[in-house]
Amino acid sequence: MYKVTLLLLIIISYPSFAKSKCQFEWDALKKVQAQLRHKSSQRLRDLEHKKHSKYQSCRKGKTQTARNTIQKVNLENLYHGKKKKAWKKYYKTPQYCKKPSTEKKLKECIRQRDKKAYHFERVWNSKIR
C-alpha cells in the first residue's frame, strides 16, 4: 500500500514541483535541434516539427489527457503471479473509469481503486497467515 500511495503522490504532485510543466517537451526539442546543427536530414526536420508542436501544445495547456494518465497508474504492475491473477479477479475497472473525461473524475477513480487495493491487500495478507 505504501508503494501505491507513493506512486500516486509522485504522479499527482509532479507538475507542481517541476521547474516548468513543459520541461520534458522543451528538453526533447532542444536535443533534436542540437542534432540538426550537426547533421541535417528530412527525418530530423520532421522530428523537430513534431517536438515543437508537442511543446507548443503543452505551453497552451493542451497537456496529457486523464485517459493517458490512468493508463500509467496501473496497479497490475505491482502484483505478480498468483497475486496478480487474484487482483484481476477481485477488481474490475468500472466503465466510467476506463475513459475519464476530467481530472476530477480521474482522481475519484484512482481513490476508489486505491480503497479496493487496500481492502484486497488486507484480505490477501489475512489468507497467507
* Structural domain harbouring 108: 2-13+65-128
pLDDT in tens, 71-88: 445 665 677 888 888 888
Q: Are 50 and 100 members of one domain?
A: no
Question: What is the model's pLDDT at position 72?
Answer: 47
Q: Are 54 and 70 members of one domain?
A: no
Q: Are 117 and 71 members of one domain?
A: yes
Question: What is the model's pLDDT at position 84?
Answer: 85
Q: Are 55 and 79 members of one domain?
A: no
pLDDT higher than threshold 70 for residue 52: yes
CB 4 within 8 A of CB 73: no
Reported as type and span, the H/E element at residue 81 is: none
Q: Are 35 and 95 members of one domain?
A: no
Distances (CA, A) of 66 to 30, 106, 108, 118, 127: 27, 6, 12, 23, 35
Q: Are 55 and 69 members of one domain?
A: no
Q: Are 75 and 117 members of one domain?
A: yes
- The number of CA neighbours under 13 Å toward the Cβ of 80 is 0
Q: Are 107 and 91 members of one domain?
A: yes
pLDDT band at 66 (very low <50, low <70, confident <90, very high): very low
Q: pTM for the whole thing?
A: 0.43
Question: What is the model's pLDDT at position 105?
Answer: 86
